[in-house]
Amino acid sequence: MHSLMIKLREKLKFFTVIPVDHYTLLCITSHATSSEIEAAYLITILASSASPWRRFIGLMCGQSRVRINRARQELLDPVVRRRYDANLKLLQTIYQNHPH
């Protein structure tokens, strides 16, 4: 049973029921400074691991430790952040103008 849970946890690292971008995940604006990103990262890590229930809900809602760490790393690197923002803007444009 324990090995099954480990395998399941590995599979769920990147899975999310709700698509969540880095800014939403960390509850910050797209203009957040690096110190705001760091503070939001710590708050999100603590909140998402506060209890077994929060860890489970966090996994299902895109708040796995792996995703939180990736969000922090990508937003703190200026080159990667510009690329991420451009991609996010493109996705937002595509989904706003989807055919009905």
31: Cβ contacts below 8 Å, ≥ 6 apart: none
Could you tell me if 20 and 62 are in contact, meaning their C-beta atoms sit under 8 angstroms apart?
Answer: yes
What domains can be seen in the chain, in order of their start residue? Answer: 13-96 (1.10.287.110)
Which helix (DSSP H) or strand (DSSP E) does residue 24 occupy? helix 22-26
pLDDT averaged over every residue in the chain = 83
Place 34 in a pLDDT band, splitting at 50, 70 and 90.
Answer: very high
Return the closest-CA partner of residue 19 out of 93, 74, 81, 91: 91
Could you tell me if 7 and 59 are in contact, meaning their C-beta atoms sit under 8 angstroms apart?
Answer: no
Q: What is the pLDDT of residues 55-70, one digit of tens each?
A: 777 777 778 888 899 9
pTM: 0.73
